[in-house]
Amino acid sequence: MSQRKRQRLRVTFSTEGSIKYVGHLDLASVWERALRRAGLPVLYSQGFHPQPKIHFASALPVGVSGRAELMDVWLSPPQQPDDVARRLQPMLPRGLHVRAVFEVPLRAPALQTQVRGAMYRIWVESDATATAFRAQLEALLASAEIFLTRRRKKGVVRYNLRPLIQEVRFLGREEDGYAFFARLQSETGSTGRPDALLQALQLADAPRRIERLCLLGVTLDGCEISVADGAGADVNIPAGECIANQPGH
Amino acid sequence: MHHSIDTPEAIWRALDRFLFRVRQPARYVGGEVNSIQKNWDEISSRLVLLFPDTYEIGMSNLGMMILYDIVNEQANMLAERAFLPWVDMEAEMRQRGIPLYSLESFQPLGNFDVIGVTLPYEQLFTNVLSALDLAGFPLRAADRDASWPLVVAGGSAGLNPEPMHAFFDAFFIGEGEEGVLDIMRSYETWRRKFDIRPRVGWHPGGAQLRTTKDILLRSLAHIPGLYVPALYDVRYYADGRVRDIRIKPGYEKDAALPVQKRIMAILPPPLTRYIVPNIKTIHNRPSVEIQRGCTRGCRFCQAGIIFRPVRERPLDEVLRAVDEIIDSTGYEEISFLSLSASDYSRIGELTQAVVAKYADQNISIALPSLRIESFSVQLMETLAQGRRRSGFTFAPEAATDRLRDVINKPISTEALLAVADQVYSRGWTTIKLYFMIGHPTQTMADVEAIADLAHQVWHVGKHYLGHKAKVRLTISTLVPKPHTPFQWVAMADETEIRAQIAYLQHRLGGSAFHLNWNDPRETLMEAFLSRGDRRLSDVIQRAWELGARFDAWEDQFNDVAWQQAFAEHGLDPDWYARRPRDLDELLPWDHIHVGVDKSFLQEQYRLALAGGVVDDCHEHCYSCGILSHYRRERRQAPDDAWGCPALGRGKAHQPVSAHAVPMYFNPEMSPEQANTTRRPQRLSRLQAIGEETP
Ligand code: SF4
């Protein structure tokens, strides 16, 4: 049997508004159905339970919006990337947007293995003074270890958040709270979550708005580095660190 | 309760402050593909469809989605959705003064004209009170004047409306596809005439608004199928039985007695623009209704009576709907809905056609409710298409030939085992069996037979698969439902039920079996709520005040609250659930007519006790009442669209008789009648399942 020609596309997407409350697994089904509605020939795995071949770079935590999330989707036969973007967008639920689609080599490493960290912009309600809030952030960075507990399926796990915090930068007062920028490690098995950061600040239940500005990781050969829509303009994302969302050359 | 948060913007802002820490927040925000948000200010007639349970359950309700689609099709109407928040969310909303709101526009329920509540089962009753209260409404219809939205219920649990009569302004009896528009139009006419628009915070009170509401109720009562409980009086005997049900003086020209179920002569086109939830729901797939109603006549089954007559959807319409649904939703699975899919006349062609078209597109097809026969195995084989075969479900409902005759589900144990053989031999590892305990005339021998049968079935599986073979059993207790031949029967005694379940647990303890059963206390609740009279409204309200809600959720069921509520009102749940009724007793739901005559049900009940089996009425019409009450509708439909014979035609093929003609009497039940049995009109079906006829 002759192998049909395949294609691997990298989709950069953003989420906005209420769709941030949809969890990662559910969001995967949302994409799967949108791809089917768009009539795109997604490749399926073989076996008893054929699964569409869609891989995400990193799960977006519930309640967090993403400005430049990444996923790879395999199609067969191959399609024009621009055409895919154009057909996909109208099929998406409110708040989900395709930012870019480009082809990557079939043998490129799995997206998930490329991610090293993520940049977040966090706003949280607080009635502390600016000085006190800043001091709290600095104290976080100054401490050698920050032990937190997390509820998992198999009971409660204690872990150290500190090594997962790569950078925290205070941005200023906004509405009834403060905005700050955080760069957290994000690797399989050791991922710093922004809500853990708020937990460490004793603000676990406070109203917040969290945006993942971009994912950081190993860049692809031949891909230019950029950040969608000027995300993170006020946080100065170091060039050369975000995973690309534009085709090169 | 006064809400300061009462605009869509304020509601969204308030929600966004805490949604991140409630369970499954996506169910509170809408925004799904195919959901419809119209321009609120430009649409005059506004309906919100409320499902009084969680989003995940409500979004699986086909009836609600059909109404959503129909109303939104109208240029001058809008329909939005609301669900009951889970307890964590409800607590947050109450604490912050956020009223129950719609998922499309985030409008508080108090800003709609009509609240259409879906009531498919009785365990939702207390949730209705939670929803009304969370919306800021007075609970009792009598306390809501014209400045409040109209609150109407629809669905199977409304077919005995009496226990909830105090809380709803009206109940729609039957199929609502046209009725919903009648209600909206009638309301709109009245609204314009009196220049009234319900809105949050505007409740000036006064006699004027009460009179206006009375005018509204009066006009609504003219809509066929709409029951307005405030226009009727019920009197009781000293012992609690219903003495009479009358239209209140002055309303005789408006209200009907009985209120007759509304049906669609021809099934309206199937819903194809399914909302695609962003999260997993209970039935995580769209379905196409291939047939409405069932002619099999199982005597415990309420659906089998209340959805009569049988109407089939033409094959090409079903196939077109499948295409459209897959196009508009992108779902990976689709199911065909029918009370008995095997009875759909073109079921073979249908499965062949969808498999041919969609098998290579990774779309799977679900076909629930198949009959116990080899044809079902073939159908499932076609649908499985080389994928994993997990479970195969059958519902014999009783384990002895004798008891299956009583419930009129005649299939022999031999035939059942033969089908089990076909299933396991083709590689399916699990057979799921549904049984009911507590049928009338049941003895312990019938319960023992359940365990015996399960073992026999397992041995068939073991022969082919060794210890990989599994049998899963679900044991429920008969709840004698209104409008069924068993409506006069007492529900089984609690200690008996417990002993029978314990026995089955003991016999079916090994790893080959998996046994599920219902808590007898929850079954009792279902029984008194479905068989109750008007006096239960007070009990329901009190139980709710004492904390009863989400009664369908095992972890929330609050038995103590119910017991106390009954005690405080001097009523006894067992009197409702476990009292056998006389055949001539006036039942609390007798003024609701579902199209099947009480005399037919009485006859079926008598036959049940004598072991008399009647055939599927596809084979022979028994004049249950449908044809005489829906002559007009029958004439509107093509001859072959209904399961009932066409009027004045085809009588030679399908005789209509005034009395049910039993195919046979079970000699164990009725030795004196066993030999007097008339020959059934057609034996084909019985021969197909290998039954010997006397
Ligand atoms: S009228 Fe006759 S054919 Fe129709 S449902 Fe009743 S018994 Fe069956």
Cα B61 to its chain centre, rounded Å, is 10
pLDDT at B2 over 60: no
What per-residue confidence (pLDDT) applies to B342?
86
Mean pLDDT of A121-128: 96
Report whether pLDDT(B642) > 60: yes
Give the A:B interface size as CB pairs under 8 Å: 79
B88 close to B124: Cβ distance less than 8 angstroms: no
Nearest to A44 among B19, B362, B387 (CB): B362
Give the tokens for residue B1: 């309760």
Name the DSSP class of B620: S
**Average of per-residue pLDDT across B227-238:** 98
Whole-number pLDDT of residue B358: 86
Q: Which two tokens stand for residue A172?
A: 């200023």
* Amino acid B689: pLDDT: 41
CA B583, B587, B589: angle at the middle one, nearest 5?
135
Q: How far is the CA of B309 from the centre of ligand 1 (A)?
A: 7
pLDDT on residue B242: 97
CATH 3.90.1150.10 fits B8-260, yes or no: no
Q: Which domains does chain A have, with CATH numbers?
A: 7-108 (3.30.70.580), 113-217 (3.30.70.3190)
Return the ∠ at Cα B604 (arms to B305 and B405), rounded to 5°.
Answer: 100
Chain B, nearest residue to A26 by Cα: B279
Q: Which pLDDT band, with edges at 50, 70 and 90, does B378 fall under?
A: confident
What pLDDT is recorded for position B388?
60
C-beta of residue B69 within 8 angstroms of C-beta of residue B273: yes
Closest CA to B286 of B56, B62, B63: B62
Segment B415-437 shows an average pLDDT of: 93
Q: What is the pLDDT of residues A25-55, one digit of tens each?
A: 999 999 999 999 999 999 998 877 788 999 9
Q: Given a cut of 60, is residue B351 above it in pLDDT?
A: yes
Closest Cα to residue B284, out of B356, B364, B397? B364
Taking Cα atoms as reference points, which of B282, B252, B272 lies closest to residue B325? B272
Contact B425, B464 (CB under 8 A): yes
- Each residue's pLDDT tens digit, A152-183: 777 888 999 999 999 999 999 999 999 999 99
pLDDT of residue B459: 96
Lowest mean pLDDT among A138-142, B132-136, B226-230: A138-142
Average pLDDT of the residues in B579-593: 97
Minimal Cα–Cα distance from A48 to chain B, Å? 5
Task: Using a CB–CB cutoff of 8 Å, tell me whether B330 touches chain A.
Answer: yes
What atom of ligand 1 comes closest to residue B627's alpha carbon?
1
| Cα B548 to Cα B565: distance, rounded to the nearest angstrom | 10
Residues of A within 8 A of B32 (CB-CB) are 93-94
pTM for the predicted model, two decimal places: 0.93
Q: Do B26 and A91 touch (CB under 8 A)?
A: no
Residue B442 CB partners (closer than 8 Å, separation 6+): B398, B403, B492
Q: B668 vs B74, which has greater pLDDT?
A: B74
Asked whether residue B616 carries a pLDDT value surpassing 50, the answer given is yes
Q: To the nearest whole number, what is the mean pLDDT of chain B? A: 92
What backbone torsions phi and psi does residue B448 show, to the nearest 5 degrees? -60, -35
Percentage of chain B modeled with pLDDT above 90: 79
Q: How far apart, in whole angstroms, are the C-alpha atoms of residue B297 and residue B304? A: 6
Write the DSSP string, B491-510. Answer: PPPHHHHHHHHHHHHHHT-S
The pLDDT score that the predictor gives to residue B682 is 36
Q: Which residue has the tokens 């429920």?
A: B476
Higher-confidence position of B489 and B658: B489
Both tokens of B271, joined, read: 């819903």
Question: Per mean pLDDT, which range of A10-14, B287-291, B651-655 is the poorest?
Answer: B651-655
In this prediction, residue A221 carries a pLDDT of 42
Residue A16 burial (10 A CB sphere; 0-12, 13-18, 19+)? middle
Asked if A202 and A86 count as a contact pair (C-beta separation under 8 A), the reply is no
pLDDT, position B157: 96
Please state, in angstroms and as integers, the Cα–Cα distance from residue B373 to each residue in B179, B246, B379, B433, B547, following that order. 38, 48, 10, 14, 46
Candidates B323, B260, B328, B290; CA nearest to B593 is: B260
Using the 8-state DSSP alphabet, how is residue B241 labeled?
Answer: -
Q: Phi and psi (nearest 5°) for A209?
A: -135, 120
**What is the per-residue pLDDT across B533-550, written as a single tens digit (0 to 9) for each?**
999 999 999 999 999 999
Distance from the Cα of B28 to chain A's closest Cα (Å) equals 9
Dump pLDDT digits (tens) for B436-445: 999 999 999 9
Q: What is the band of B368 on the pLDDT scale with cuts at 50, 70, 90? A: confident
- CATH 3.40.50.280: which residues of chain B? 8-260
Q: Of the candidates B31, B326, B362, which has its C-beta nearest A50's C-beta?
A: B362
| Alpha carbon nearest to ligand 1 atom 2, residue | B621
The first and second tokens of residue B301, run together, are 């089954």
Kindly report the three-state secondary structure assignment for every residue of B338-391: CCCHHHCCCHHHHHHHHHHHHHHHCCEEECCCCCCCHHHHHHHHHHHCCCCCCE
Q: Please name the residue of chain B whose CA is at the shortest distance from the CA of residue A52.
A: B362
Beta strand spans in A39-126 (E): 54-56, 64-66, 69-75, 96-104, 115-125
Mean pLDDT for the stretch of residues A95-122: 92
**Which range among B134-138, B160-164, B238-242, B422-426 shows the weakest confidence by mean pLDDT?**
B422-426
ipTM of model: 0.89
C-alpha B74 – ligand 1 centre gap (Å):
34
> Which residues, other chains included, contact B243 with Cβ-Cβ below 8 Å and sequence gap of 6+?
B235, B236, B237, B586
Q: Which of B299, B614, B617 to mutate to test the pocket of ligand 1 (most atoms within 8 A of CB)?
A: B617
Alpha carbon distance, N-terminus to C-terminus of chain B: 68
> Residues of B numbered 246-285 whose beta carbons fall under 8 angstroms of chain A's beta carbons: which are they?
276, 278-280
Find which of B15, B32, B33, B92 to mutate to test the A interface (most A CBs within 10 Å of its CB): B33
Give the per-residue pLDDT at B649.
57
Choice between B373 and B537, residue whose per-residue pLDDT is larger: B537
Q: How far is the CA of A226 from the centre of ligand 1 (A)?
A: 71
Q: Is A212 left (phi over 0), alpha (psi -120 to 50) or beta?
A: beta
Chain B residues within 8 A of A37 when measuring between CB atoms: 33, 327-330
Task: Return the pLDDT at B678.
Answer: 52
B51: closest CA of chain A, how far (Å):
21
Mean pLDDT of B6-31: 96
Report residue A125's pLDDT band, with 50, 70 and 90 as the boundaries: very high
Q: Which residues of A touch B279 (CB under 8 A)?
A: 22-23, 26
Distance, in angstroms, between A151 CA and closest chain B CA? 14
A1 has a pLDDT exceeding 80: no
Q: Which residues of chain A from 180 to 209 reach within 8 Å of chain B, CB to CB?
A: 195, 205, 207-209
**Confidence band, pLDDT 50/70/90 cuts, at residue B658:** low
State how far Cα B91 lies from the chain centre: 29
Q: Tell which wins on pLDDT, B359 or B193.
A: B193
Alpha-helix runs per DSSP H in B172-239: 179-194, 207-220
Query: Omega before B309 cis (within 30°)?
Result: yes
Element (H, E) at B515: strand B513-517
With CA atoms as reference, report the closest residue to B175 among B161, B194, B158: B158
Task: Answer whether A22 sits within 8 Å of B20, measured CB to CB.
Answer: no
% of chain B surpassing 70 pLDDT:
94
pLDDT given for residue B1 in this prediction: 46
Residue B54: pLDDT band with limits 50, 70, 90 = very high
Q: Which residues pair with B235 in a beta bridge?
A: B244
Do the chains contact at A21 and B329, CB–CB below 8 Å? no
Residue A89 CA to its chain's centroid (Å):
19
Q: Count the neighbouring beta carbons within 10 Å of the beta carbon of residue B236.
A: 14
Which among B18, B31, B280 has the least Cβ separation from residue A18?
B31
- Contact (CB, 8 A) for A76 and A7: yes
**pLDDT reported for residue B621:** 87
A22–B279 C-beta distance less than 8 A: yes
Amino acid residing at B612: G
**Confidence category of residue B691, pLDDT binned at 50, 70, 90:** very low
Can you say how many angstroms the Cα of residue B134 is from the centroid of all Cα atoms in its chain?
25
CB contact under 8 A, B330 and A17: no
Structure confidence at residue A235 (pLDDT): 44
Residue B665's pLDDT is 84
Interchain contact B17–A (C-beta under 8 A) = yes
Pocket test for ligand 1, best of B301, B312, B600, B622 (most atoms within 8 A of CB): B622
Residue B325 is predicted with a pLDDT of 95
Q: In the structure, what pLDDT confidence band is assigned to residue B387 with cuts at 50, 70 and 90? A: low
Question: Measured between beta carbons, which residues in chain B are less than 8 angstroms from residue A19?
Answer: 31, 278
Closest among B251, B42, B280 to A33, alpha carbons compared: B280
Report the gap between the CA of A220 and the closest CA in chain B (Å). 32
CA–CA dist B604, B607 (Å, integer): 5
Residues with CB under 6 A from ligand 1: B 295, 308-309, 617, 621-624, 626-627, 643-644
E-state strands within B207-363: 226-227, 232-236, 242-247, 259-260, 287-289, 291-292, 311-312, 333-337
Residue A240 pLDDT > 50? no
Distance from CA of B328 to the nearest CA of A (A): 6
Backbone φ and ψ for B597, nearest 5 degrees, come out as -75, 150
